[in-house]
């Protein structure tokens, strides 16, 4: 049965989710997006509604609107930046009425034995192989691939077209840039940023930004 859903964040990421939800609902209605929440409404011309494809999404209020909701409500944090996603999640978890479902979009291929936390987004075209564990609020963007025995920590974001080989571990609050690759058995710690197109071939222990092929820390 179709369930109500509120999206948090009014950026491009949220509009892409609207598109993906529209695609998902074609076969059978899954999510009814009842509105969005942000610090302020996002005005476009004479309306603060946000639309993508055929879904039109009205502004409901700021975080306080959600903190005071009294009935069980599904929310999704449609924000790509890991630290901001964490900040919003930690605030909203103060209201036990808020539920953070995992959104699994259309055209995904997900092995039945994966372990998922809460609030994850598995975007269109994602493929997840056997024995993969995702923490809470992991955001897998369009066309990402995680091969066997992978682990992805809380709040980590994989940008579109990221490919992760087998037995890779990625920590919490990492942002792996567009089109990056990680070879097998590599371990990446927490708070690592990988630039677009990086190829990560060695472990990265400490928080840092890496770029290039093979990926190396950016000198600052
Ligand atoms: C890596 C990244 C975070 C660096 O951003 P930044 O901290 O602002 O750093 P700068 O832009 O000052 O770049 C620092 C250096 O790294 C280089 N660099 C930046 N991004 C790079 C990349 N993806 N590949 C190779 N080199 C890169 C810059 O040319 C610069 O080199 P220089 O010092 O020799 O001039 C950013 O460039 C990036 O790639 N972000 C990921 C974007 C993405 O995937 N978005 C997906 C949205 S869905």
Whole-number pLDDT of residue 206:
93
pLDDT at 220 exceeding the cut of 90: no
Tokens of 170: 């990625």
**Sequence-ordered list of residues with C-beta below 8 angstroms from that of 163, at least 6 positions apart, any chain:** 144, 145, 180, 181, 182
Where exactly are the structural domains of the chain? 3-101, 102-208
pLDDT at 181 exceeding the cut of 90: yes
Mutational test site, ligand 1, from 79, 196, 199, max ligand atoms within 8 Å of CB: 196
pLDDT at 1 exceeding the cut of 90: no
For 187-195, which contacts have Cβ atoms below 8 Å and span 24 or more sequence positions?
190/153
pLDDT at 70 exceeding the cut of 80: yes
On the CB side of 204, CA atoms within 13 Å amount to: 30
Calculate what percentage of the chain has a pLDDT beyond 70. Answer: 100
Counting atoms of ligand 1 from 1, which one is nearest the CA of 193? Answer: 3
Mutational test site, ligand 1, from 16, 197, 218, max ligand atoms within 8 Å of CB: 218
Q: Which CATH class is domain 3-101?
A: alpha beta
Whole-number pLDDT of residue 219:
79
Q: Residue 195 to residues 120, 142, 147, 168, 190: CA-CA distances in angstroms?
A: 22, 17, 21, 18, 15
Residues within 6 Å of ligand 1 by CB: 80, 141, 159-160, 177-178, 193, 195-197, 209, 211-212, 218
Task: Please state whether the predicted TM-score (pTM) of the whole model is above 0.95.
Answer: yes
Whole-number pLDDT of residue 95:
97
Q: Which CATH superfamily is domain 102-208 in?
A: Hexapeptide repeat proteins (2.160.10.10)
Angle ∠(38,161,15) on CA atoms, nearest 5: 25
Tens-digit pLDDT profile for residues 40-66: 999 988 999 999 999 999 999 999 999
């Amino acid at each position: 049965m179709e369930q109500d859903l509120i999206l948090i964040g009014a950026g491009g990421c949220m509009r892409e989710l609207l598109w993906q939800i529209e695609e998902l609902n074609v076969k059978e209605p899954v999510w009814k997006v009842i509105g969005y929440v942000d610090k302020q409404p996002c005005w476009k011309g004479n309306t603060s509604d946000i639309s993508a494809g055929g879904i039109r999404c009205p502004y409901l209020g700021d975080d306080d609107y959600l903190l005071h909701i009294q009935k069980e409500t599904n929310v999704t944090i449609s924000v790509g930046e890991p630290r901001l996603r964490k900040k919003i999640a930690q605030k909203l978890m103060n209201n036990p009425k808020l539920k953070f479902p995992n959104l699994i979009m259309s055209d995904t291929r997900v092995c039945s034995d994966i372990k998922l936390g809460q609030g994850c987004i598995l975007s269109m075209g994602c493929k997840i192989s056997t024995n993969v564990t995702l923490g809470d609020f992991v955001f897998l963007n369009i066309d990402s691939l995680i091969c066997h025995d992978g682990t992805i920590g809380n709040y980590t974001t994989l940008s579109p077209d990221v490919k992760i080989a087998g037995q890779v571990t990625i920590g919490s609050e990492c942002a792996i840039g567009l089109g990056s690759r990680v070879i097998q058995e590599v371990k990446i710690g927490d708070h690592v940023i990988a630039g677009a197109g990086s190829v990560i071939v060695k472990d990265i222990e400490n928080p840092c930004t890496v770029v290039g092929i093979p990926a190396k820390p950016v000198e600052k």
